[in-house]
Structure formats: structure tokens, C-alpha cells
Structure 1
């Protein structure tokens, strides 16, 4: 089974290439310079060359704060790109798996968000990602939209690597403690998508649509940071963990508002595909080992 992966240089894209090959797929990972999803001519040419059986879109504009002043590019990558992929997939009768985000919600719910919960993004990034979801659904029946949150890995920019860098530079750190979600390793997201891809390849009935996938247990950024430093210190990645202080989001203003509740209910993906939530503490251990 040939799988075309866009955004192959990113956290999830890299993990898809790595695990896809291990799982026996014929993987064609394309970076944004090789496959510009916002350029229809480029998309058509790559599809004609690869002739994929399935496409996974791991391309995204993810600079949440920068998107507030760079909305044109955010919408180009997060809405137009998925639309062009969906249209090309429809023309060739190919399924598309597309990655989305917790930012499509406003974060005011008291419970974990299910797939059919009301969306209400509060940032340009969130609005552009929701627009991308809708453009995929409107233009292609054979689609899976996988929403995830708090992605981390050994590559790229993410909370784990930022904490390790700051922890090595400072004795004290203030971490937001009133935002809650499920840290999720890029490896686990990749494996979830590849499990769905395998089901597609088996020609079994697929319930197309939106699914949630994150790590468990839910925690705050403060609790996440605490676990990062505990593990890093025990593995001697850092000589001494910094002192952590918990703060409110209001004490750390950002150009783009963050959802206070990023908890995603992952029961649907387990029911349909048997995919369990990521054990993020174990995944964190695996990532820290790689960073050693």
C-alpha cells in the first residue's frame, strides 16, 4: 500500500515516515519544499508521480501566536492546502487522513470534548484549522479528520524541548497551571493514523469522519513540566530540576488565546478502531531517551 505523506519534515510527519516503513507500507514522505499543498499544479504532479493509495496530511501552519499577524499564510496552509488535497484525492478516488487540533474549541467546557461538540475557535490558528476540516469534509467523502493536542517529540519545537532548554538556563520557572489537556507523542499519533490506514488497506468498512486522539491522563502544563523535569533529572539529562511556580493564564498573556480546557474524549476512536489513548508518561520517557 502506497502512502503519500505531506509535511514529512515535521514532528508527526517524521514519525509517520519512520513507523510507516516499519509497518510494511510503501511510504513517500514529502517536505513542504517537495510537496507544496497550496499549489495545485505541484499537488497534481506529485500525485501523478507517486500514484498513492492513501494520503496523510501532516502539513500545517502551527505558529499559534504568529498566525494572529500572519493570517493569510495560516489560512493558505491550513485551509487551502487541505482543500486542494481533498479535491485531488476525490478526482483519483483516494482516502485522505487529515490532522487537526484542540484549538477548534473555545476551551470553556467543564468536560472533555467529544467529536460532535460545538466548535468555537478563539484564535486565527484555530479558525484556520477548523476551516481546513470543513474544506476536507465538503470536498471528499473518504476522509478522516484526527484532532489531537499538545504534541511532543524529539524533533522540532515543542513543550518538552522548550522546558529542557529553559531548565538548563534558569533556576526557577513559572508554568501555567489552569490549562488542561492530554500531552500526545508524535509517535503515537503516527501509529494511530497508520492503524487507520491499515484498516483502509484491508478494504474493511470505515466510518469516515472526525476522531479525537490524545494522551492520558489529562494534566495541566504545570503538571506536564513537573513530570518532564522529574524524568529528565532521573535520567541525568539535566543536573538539577529548576524550581517550578504555578501561575494563571492571565499572568502569562499571549497574542493568541489558549483553550483552558483542551481535553479531548477519545472513546470513539477506541470503539471504531481499537486505538487506545497514548500513555504520555511512557512516551515522554521514550522521547527523553532519544534526546540522551
Structure 2
């Protein structure tokens, strides 16, 4: 019976394992191999790419665009995680109480998360355009005299795409945190009220400590999802203007399909992967210590 169960388990797990190998392990190993070769369009087609060691990594690390993408990725990820978590937590606390139209509003909050990225990206590109909705609104209210270059300014572009990503990620954070709140025993709050605890004290000394595992898990998942964002940024700015809003993902794509420098593109992705692994490892270590 044990052998049959193991065989059945293997059969059920096999599709998942094959999927992970085909779309996760193989592309990663292939990208790692490409990062050590001089691969461009000609050498790729002819199959004559030469092994050049760490040259691609050295050239990438000397490229100002890489360090610009590094800074942008940190800003994009840091601000996204902070505001998604903070706003999501606030909404979760609000919906932890019963009030009219609660179900309808909960469904409404999930709209950004279920909306196709193409639609969301196009909406924000139109909203933040020089002659888009936001500038027209601010001008009509008399708050500005001329359009603000939200996505065509080297200084503002990265913050505009970060705002868009925050809006998209709030529902995910809210959902996880709200689920965690439902698991906190009501007796803890009742006991705190008897001891004279006020609302903010209950949040600080009961809610947050009980939610620590959920918060850390949300941060880990948010870090992974945010670092690999590509489509939203590409739709809104394509990494522009002049590469000012490039993240690791968009820079890698641009190197591969605009310049056909596949080796450098792979090097950027591998460096990004190492950073993600380091961040996730650090967050998981904090989670284990808290546990």
C-alpha cells in the first residue's frame, strides 16, 4: 500500500515538477550560461558564441544604466512595499468591522488586482501623460499653470510608475492581512478592553504581534512580485525617458531585444536574481527568528 501511495503521489506531483523545470529551472540555467558568453544576434543564430567568463558582468557593472536601474529598482520596490503594506493594513483594519455595503466595497477594492495589466498600464499612461487626465484636472482646478511631465521627466518617471504599482498591489496586501486578522481570537481584544486598552493600544500590542508571521510572509511575496515587475513599467514608460525609469527587468529586455546583447541581458537578470535571493533570505531569517 505504501508503494502504491508513493507512486500515486509521484504521478500527481510530476506535472508540477515538469512545469517548474520547464519554466523555472531551465530558463534560469540557460540565462546563467548565456551570461558567460559573448552572445549577440549574429553569434546566437550561427551558434558561434564564445565563452568570455565574467566580462559581461564587468561591463554591466560599469554601465551607468545598470546603476540607474539598480537605484530605480530599490526605490520602486521599497516605496511599493511600504505603501502597499501600510494602506493594505489600514483597509484590513477598517473591514475587520461590520458596516453597511461591506461586501460590495470589498469586491470594489479587489478590482485593481483582477484587472489586466494591459488595461491598468494603458490607463496610467493616459492619466500621467503630458496632456492626460491628471494634468487637465490640476490645470482646471487652478493648482498648476502648465502640464507636469509625470512620465517624460527623468526625475518623476520612476515615482509615477511606483504609484501605479502601489495602486495595483494594495488589494493583494489587504487580502492577506485581512485573512490574518480573522484568525486573531476576539477574546484577546475583550480582555484588553477590560484592562482599559484603547483602540491604538490594541492594534499596537495585540494586532501587530499576532500578525507578524502574516506581515513577514506578505513582505516576502511582495518583494518577489515587485522585483520582477516588467509589463506595467514597459507599457507606461518603456524605461524612458532616456533609460531614467529602467528597472532590472526592463533594462534586461532592452539589452536583449533593442541592442541584441543577450549576454549582458542575462547578466543583468542573474544579478537581479541574486539580489532577490538575498532579500528573501534576509526576510525569511527575520521570520524564523520571530517564530
Same-fold call, TM cutoff 0.5 = no
> Rg bigger for which structure?
2
| More contact order relative to length (CA 8 Å, sep ≥ 6) | 2
Of Structure 1 and Structure 2, which has the larger fraction of its residues in strand? 1
Of Structure 1 and Structure 2, which has the larger fraction of its residues in helix? 2
TM-score (norm 1): 0.22
